[in-house]
Chain A
């Protein structure tokens, strides 16, 4: 179960920076930080209306990802080499330690590899196909072995972008789907804010959150 969660995170993460093969999107260098806003729309079969959420994210290679949902419920999810934590109203409601679930670290490694332009780990599970040019490209990931529990939940992942990744669409095997749109993305070399640094350093959770 946890693993599937982590897979989904890893894929979403990879997608959000996208360094697909042939994709001209820039990889992040050490010390660079990607800030941005996201809008996510999730279509679950059986629900009359889709689940829509939006918020901001911070991605720091080597340190981790902070995913802040602002609407409909203020939630912070932090993924670091040390584990995954979910914080609501300043209190931690979920904590998966790498020590107890080392595959978290494994996927973190995969993410970091991808950020550095190393797609080997990804290729093991997915077929990667890119079309288009530098200005507008589209990458489709399809699981190589549908019986593989890691990739088995996913039917396909479609990533499109230009200079940056603009959107990701994840189609699940069970017919559900979700799309993420990334806005206002900026790459900066500035230091993390104190709050973000504290979250990523895995210290006590921020009271301001």
Chain B
């Protein structure tokens, strides 16, 4: 025994040294939440493309600065745009637009003009209704709004170009350029638009903090000067920061409540702080071992795995509490004797819990792998500390003040074993059974990731206001178009266009944005030229010119014989936003994105995508939702599996009948917790399932403790279970107040599950 104590000392010391060395070298804590998601896409090209679009979409922010005074709105917009540009955290800031942007647009298209037709004009020519175009041209030339001069009429006789340009689906179509700034007037209010592309990872905490600080400082300064100025914002970074902020605030508050509550609990029961130090020692050793092992294996650690892992190691507190509770009572004996009393119970508890944690390895979330290793190593380290070290540091004197507390703790046992309470027992079981059965009919599964996070209400309001004013919305869905080369990609987009247009009319999507809407494929341009020549110029041009009195032929010679391709869109073009839609263009193929907004029926879009080879629908939120669904099912299987894996150990110790008794309380807890919560309207998700993994481990611990309790030490065991239950509620159950739905559901499941596991634990004993 002494050797083991010493050897464990050497191991812990070595872990400390390793940890110090690793920390000295510098350890990177990953904070990017997306790193927790599994790498599910095998195709590297597709994966890269998806990541790029997601990045582009998440790094984009839209701001509207508004005031009833136009000058104020403009001054505010200019100041904010400058602050953003000066922040060094933006790749581009678009505020002032080129005054000649229309001219630039015209200059790009004009040399290739007969290749471009508006959708309606193309249809007219295809249906031999060129006469309508001629009449429109004549009406335009004579009409009140004519801008045509002879120069234009010679180059673009039927004014097809203005028609094409006016039907381009410009994303900022609702804005009017007002003195070089895109503006909207709404009621008495003038709004100016700023679009910025950030240059950092919007999910990194450090970048969020820096950016939001800069942004808020700029906004405060503006509001000090112009109190009525309003700034509306939409962008992933604002949501991410608000979410992280509220999580941090919550975590801090909950940790304090949890810590203070635990200290008070220990003081009340033991009237001494030594049990607290012992407990902390065991947990600390566990965490040190876990960190050293994890950092050596993974080279880093995700902050979520760290936080959650520390909580899981926290279950080791159950074993400490079993041990320190053994000190209460006159017949407690020496520290070594106390350990002997609790050793079988806590050993079995650790074994079953380790089985439970190890099954986490089977889920393909990278974060869960870290978590599984972290919690298993830590738990085992804490356990060894309890067994090997705690008796050494413990006081040899039994605590004799606790008879009343022990008696109270024992009441639960009395309730389950005393004949007087037979009816009450069955009544309780029946009541919970009925409630669980009713709840089961109301159990609703909800994997939607958008429901799992708390989106700050005021940001959502701003987003819907921006959508109302501008039509701009922060969609994350898109279509990937994969083709052999750029022109084939454009042709696919052209084929898609009709289907997407009718999907827009049906309300399946609010809109879409594709490269081909602005730059048709060479094939389409060639087709248009033929149409224009055969169906318009040949039959109508001569008489049309004669009618207007234009002598001579059209100046078609001024036209380029080439075709417009997307490369012509320069970085300072008003269409530069289209450059982002080209994701990949190499010998191995071309990849374009077609952005979708307001997708309300994703299945319909998925069906459309299926009809076109090389097109796939990408719905990041939907992917995560489906993933959460898959992992929820997997987690449930893992729970059943880990229960099954624990059985051999239990059967070896208690026989089949005994092990079934031991299993009863955890089984009730796992089955009834979600159904009882369903009565309160809590939906079931992956996070609830993860909570059930914990509930199962906790439930087995309590049941095993009860089963192993010697009759003479039973009240001390019950006290240990009481304390374990209360500390679990203080650390996990408190999460029920979280504003993040996933965390709330997790906490609620632990809360109800732990209480159930606790309440039914004495059933495990046949005594």
Residues of A within 8 A of B (CB): 1-6, 8-9, 12-13, 40, 42, 44-49, 51, 53, 67, 69, 72-73, 75, 77, 84, 86, 88-89, 91, 93-94, 96, 99-103, 106, 109, 147, 149, 153, 172, 174, 176
Contact = CB atoms under 8 A, between A and B. Distances in A.
A49 B145 contact: no
A1 B102 contact: yes
Contact of A101 (B133, B143, B147, B173): B173
B176 A102 contact: yes
A4 B176 contact: no
In this complex, the member of B139, B140, B141 whose beta carbon has the largest number of chain A beta carbons within 10 angstroms is B139
B144 A8 contact: yes
Nearest to B551: A48
A8 B548 contact: no
A130 B163 CA distance: 37
A69 B174 contact: no
Contacts of A102: 173-176, 184
A89 B135 CA distance: 9
Contact of A77 (B133, B144, B185, B548): B144
A12 B146 CA distance: 11
Given A75-B135, A96-B166, 4 more contacts: A75-B142, A84-B145, A147-B99, A172-B149
B145 A69 contact: no
Contacts of A8: 144-147
Contact of B144 (A2, A12, A47, A176): A12
Contacts of B184: 102
B150 A46 contact: yes
A8 B147 CA distance: 8
Contacts of B149: 44-46, 172, 174, 176
Interface in B292-333: none
Contacts, number: 117
A149 B176 CA distance: 13
B144 A9 contact: yes
A77 B143 contact: yes
A5 B551 contact: no
B165 interface: yes
A47 to B, nearest CB: 5
Contact of A93 (B135, B141, B161, B165): B135
B144 A46 contact: no
Given A1-B162, A1-B165, A102-B174, A153 B135 contact: no
B511 to A, nearest CB: 12
Given A1-B106, A102-B176, A94 B136 contact: yes
Contacts of B138: 72-73
B166 A2 contact: yes
Contact of B139 (A4, A12, A73, A153): A73
A42 B138 CA distance: 13
B588 interface: no
In this complex, the member of B136, B145, B148 whose beta carbon has the largest number of chain A beta carbons within 10 angstroms is B145
Interface residues of B, number: 40
A4 B147 CA distance: 7
B711 interface: no
B147 A1 contact: yes
B28 interface: no
B550 interface: yes
A47 B550 contact: yes
Contacts of B148: 44
B132 interface: yes
Contact of A67 (B135, B144, B163): B144
Contacts of A84: 145
Contacts of A89: 135
22 contacts: A1-B147, A4-B147, A5-B147, A8-B147, A12-B144, A12-B145, A40-B144, A44-B149, A69-B143, A73-B139, A77-B139, A77-B143, A86-B139, A89-B135, A93-B132, A100-B173, A100-B174, A102-B174, A102-B176, A106-B176, A149-B99, A149-B102
B166 A49 contact: no
A46 B151 contact: yes
B498 interface: no
B549 interface: yes
A176 B149 CA distance: 7
B135 A3 contact: no
Interface in B532-559: 547-551
B286 to A, nearest CB: 63
A13 B106 CA distance: 27
Contacts of A91: 132
Given A47-B150, A91-B132, A101 B166 contact: yes
A67 B548 contact: no
Contact of B146 (A42, A94, A106, A109): A42
Nearest to B550: A47
B135 A6 contact: no
Contacts of A96: 166
B542 to A, nearest CB: 16
Given A47-B550, A102-B174, A106-B176, A9 B139 contact: no
B139 A93 contact: yes
Interface string B633-652: 00000000000000000000
A46 B99 contact: no
Contacts of B133: 93
Contacts of B106: 1
Contacts of B166: 1-2, 96, 101
A103 B182 CA distance: 11
B102 A3 contact: yes
A8 B141 CA distance: 13
B118 to A, nearest CB: 10
Contacts of A13: 144
B180 to A, nearest CB: 10
B147 A44 contact: no
Contacts of B153: 44
Nearest to B159: A1
Contacts of B549: 47-49, 51
A155 to B, nearest CB: 13
A40 B135 CA distance: 18
A72 B135 CA distance: 11
Nearest to A5: B145
A147 B141 CA distance: 25
A88 B132 CA distance: 8
A151 to B, nearest CB: 12
B176 A73 contact: no
Contacts of A47: 150, 548-550
A106 B185 contact: yes
Contacts of A51: 141-142, 548-549
A72 B165 CA distance: 27
Nearest to B186: A102
